[in-house]
Amino acid sequence: MSSSNATAGSSTVLSPLRLKVLQRDKQSLDYLLRSGLAGGAAGCIAKTVVAPLDRVKILFQTGNPEFQKFSGTWSGAFQATKVIYASNGVRSLFQGHSATLLRVFPYAAIKFVAYDQIHDYLMPTKESETGIRRFAAGAFAGTTSVLFTYPLELIRVRLAYDTRSSTSLSLRPSLLNTISSIYREGNAPLPKPNAAAPTTIRVPPSRLFDLFPILKFYRGFNVTILGMVPYAGTSFLVWGSLQSHFFPRPDPKDPTTKPPPRTVLNLVLGAVSGATAQTVSYPFEVVRRRLQIGGLIRPTGWVGWGETVRDIWKRAGWRGFFVGLSIGYVKVVPMTAVSFASWEGGKRLLGI
């Protein structure tokens, strides 16, 4: 009896110690799950806060003819919001948000977990923290998350782009209808080989959609990766540098040292990080949006990034690559602020 009590007492004493050691091991499954949960939740919270502005920005970036008259001015975003609200109420402001959350949770979870892991690998000590390594860690985290979640991003953009007003549930754009529509785009028979000609058929890019339908869900992926490197790299570079300045690593020789309150300052640091990253990478984002709706503009063909860049330049010059940037700031600055602050708060809440 006394032996069992002693055993129970010892487990009660040791379990917090074992938990503390487990939480410090960033390669443990427990840490990865907690970090992923904190990151995914942070992404969902941030995206929900700015969902209406996100839809307006997509309509501006993709050149939706119904909303081009509102782009280019600070008040245009709010006028466009009123028009969207008048069509189908609050629901229209959050059109495509279900697809957004489906994408954002795994996207943010993978991004923050990947950053945690690569940061721990490249910068195990304070002395090893450099701007180049912070940029590399952020770029790696961003591109990794995009690779796994890009189809959901494309679906979200298609849902946000559709401005048809209808009170009928059967005609209102839905997640399944959009997926089906993308899958069926460009379904045309391949040319038959000529008996007198060589049997080898050169498959044009548009025909690749028929051979590999999954590629339809990766329209604009190459430009997305190109844009993600400066966006995620700059975002985490600025965030990590500011965090290092305002919140230096605690002295391991003094475990009683507690960091100062972080919530408000984290929001400010996240806002600065988001604004900087948005400015650097915005032209890539505009090109990416145009490519993502390429299936609506030319269902049977492949719209290339070079053609898209030339078209934007021809229509509006260099300014065309920054259309919607003002609303981009309005959206990205609070979104990044909430995302980073929620991530830090979530990690503290989950004990990591």
What CA–CA distance (Å, rounded) separates 349 from 133? 28
pLDDT attached to residue 10? 40
In the prediction, which pLDDT does 201 show?
43
pTM: 0.68
User: pLDDT tens across 42-56, in order?
Assistant: 999 999 988 888 888
What's the pLDDT score for residue 218? 85
Does residue 118 carry a pLDDT above 50? yes
296 Cβ contact partners less than 8 Å away, ≥ 6 residues apart: 158, 161
- The better pLDDT of the pair 36, 316 is held by 36
How confident is the model at residue 238, as a pLDDT? 94
The confidence score (pLDDT) of residue 77 equals: 75
Closest by CA to 139, choosing from 117, 120, 115, is 115
Distance CA 119, CA 142 (A): 13
Per-residue pLDDT averaged across 324-328, rounded?
77
Alpha-carbon gap, residue 336 to 272, rounded angstroms: 9
3-state helix, strand, coil split of the chain in percent (to 5) is 75, 0, 25
In the predicted structure, residue 80 carries a pLDDT above the cut 80: yes
Decide if pLDDT at 199 tops 70.
no
Q: Considering the chain, what is the average pLDDT of its residues? A: 77
Q: Tell me the domains of the chain and their CATH numbers.
A: 206-251+259-322 (1.50.40.10)
